[in-house]
Chain A
Amino acid sequence: TQLLEQSPQFLSIQEGENLTVYCNSSSVFSSLQWYRQEPGEGPVLLVTVVTGGEVKKLKRLTFQFGDARKDSSLHITAAQPGDTGLYLCAGANAGGTSYGKLTFGQGTILTVHP
């Protein structure tokens, strides 16, 4: 069974601070996706990382995929209240034929105070 451990579970910070969310596993994933979810809505994809060591930037968000494709991080610079939400990492199955199966982490609830 593939598991993704996400940390921290809760994060409460002031506007302008930086933060990092971690996603770790003992399993290798073929790709890893990060989602953001707002209350009452479904998760919305932020980015997909595919190659070990890959770094992707999306404005103030920086995503990194570990060299061994077992872990990932999301770094937010100068957080804003609009960044508040549930952040989820999800790994796509490596090997076998069930490519569509995503394993989600437990999520990080981020609150950015003005």
Chain B
Amino acid sequence: GAGVSQSPRYKVTKRGQDVALRCDPISGHVSLYWYRQALGQGPEFLTYFNYEAQQDKSGLPNDRFSAERPEGSISTLTIQRTEQRDSAMYRCASSLEAEQTGVRNEQFFGPGTRLTVL
């Protein structure tokens, strides 16, 4: 596809259930990022991958959150035993590659998954 896609676009779940959010990056992009964004606020970094390797997971709130990218393309963000405070917009982005400076780490964002935990 032309851009980053995410599914589902909306997810409503009950507290205590597990959810899996999917991200399909732009073809050829090495780096993939997960963010969480509150309404009217800037995205909050969660984790990112280069190829299949998770480079930084310092933003994951706790051990209920995990992410994987087993084949270096599609990624899944999993939240176990969801809580109401997990309700948010979860955004995925991809870039040619993560580098210290320059244009190759310019990130292209997907439309997001709106998660609501009842």
Contacts and interface: CB of A to CB of B under 8 A. Distances in A.
A88 B42 contact: yes
A43 B43 contact: yes
Contacts of B35: 104
A30 B98 CA distance: 12
B65 interface: no
Interface residues of A, number: 30
B22 interface: no
A99 B40 contact: no
Interface string A74-96: 00000000000010101010100
B18 interface: no
B42 A100 contact: no
Contacts of B110: 42
Contacts of A42: 4, 91, 93, 109-112
Classify chain B: how many residues form its interface, as a range: 20 to 34
Contact of A102 (B4, B33, B55, B111): B33
Interface stretch (A12-20, A44-52, A56-64): A44-52
A106 B100 contact: no
A97 B48 CA distance: 12
B41 interface: yes
A106 B105 contact: no
Given A6-B42, A105-B42, A100 B91 contact: no
Q: Considering residues B42, B43, B56, B102, which has the most beta carbons from chain A within 10 angstroms of its beta carbon?
A: B42
Contacts of B118: none
Contacts of B33: 100, 102
Given A31-B101, A43-B109, A106 B55 contact: no
Nearest to B110: A42
Nearest to A107: B42
Interface of B: 4, 31, 33, 35, 40-45, 48, 50, 55-56, 58-59, 91, 93, 95, 98-103, 105-112
